Amino acid sequence: MASTTVSSTFELLFISSLLLFSQFFVSEAQGLPPVVKGLSWTFFQSSCPKLESIVRKRLERVFKDDVGQAAGLLRLHFHDCFVQGCDGSVLLDGSAGGPSEKTAIPNLTLRKESFKIIDDLRERVHKECGRIVSCSDITALAARDAVFLTGGPNYVVPLGRRDGQNFATEQATLDNLVAPTANTTTLLARLAAKDFDPTDVVALSGAHTIGISHCTSFTERLYPNQDSTMDKTFANNLKTSCPTANSNNTVNMDILSPNVFDNKYYVDLINRKGLFTSDQDLFTDRRTKNIVTSFGANQTLFFNKFVNAMIKMGQLNVLTGGQGEIRAKCSVRNKDKLLAAVVEGLEKTLAAAL
Question: Catalytic site residues?
Answer: 79
Q: Does residue 6 have a known ligand-binding role? A: no
> DSSP assignment, residue 119?
H
CB-based contact 118:138 (threshold 8 Å): yes
Q: Does residue 342 have a known ligand-binding role? A: no
Q: Does residue 209 have a known ligand-binding role? A: yes
**Angle in degrees, CA 301, 189, 225, rounded to 5:** 90
Find residue 95's DSSP bridge partners: 98
Answer left, alpha or beta for residue 296, where phi above 0 means left and psi between -120 and 50 means alpha: alpha
Check whether the bond before 224 is cis (ω within 30° of 0).
yes
> DSSP assignment, residue 159?
B
Q: CB count, 10 Å around CB of 344?
A: 10
As a whole number of Å, the end-to-end CA separation of the chain is 92
CB-based contact 21:106 (threshold 8 Å): no
Q: Does residue 4 have a known ligand-binding role? A: no
Q: Does residue 83 have a known ligand-binding role? A: yes
> DSSP assignment, residue 92?
P
Check whether the bond before 180 is cis (ω within 30° of 0).
no
> Minimal CA–CA distance to 315: which of 44, 56, 86?
86
**Which residues, including other chains, have CB under 8 Å from residue 34's CB and lie 6 or more apart?**
none
Q: Does residue 89 have a known ligand-binding role? A: yes
Question: What is the full DSSP assignment across 13-38?
Answer: HHHHHHHHHHHHHHHHHHTSPPPPTT
Q: Does residue 87 have a known ligand-binding role? A: yes
Q: Does residue 208 have a known ligand-binding role? A: yes
Q: Give the C-alpha separation, 348 to 287, whole Å.
A: 64
CA distances to 106, 122, 298, 326 from 341, rounded to whole Å, are 32, 20, 55, 18
Which residues does the annotation place in the binding site for heme b?
Answer: 208
Which residues does the annotation place in the binding site for Ca(2+)?
Answer: 80, 83, 85, 87, 89, 101, 209, 254, 262
Which residues does the annotation place in the binding site?
Answer: 80, 83, 85, 87, 89, 101, 208-209, 254, 262
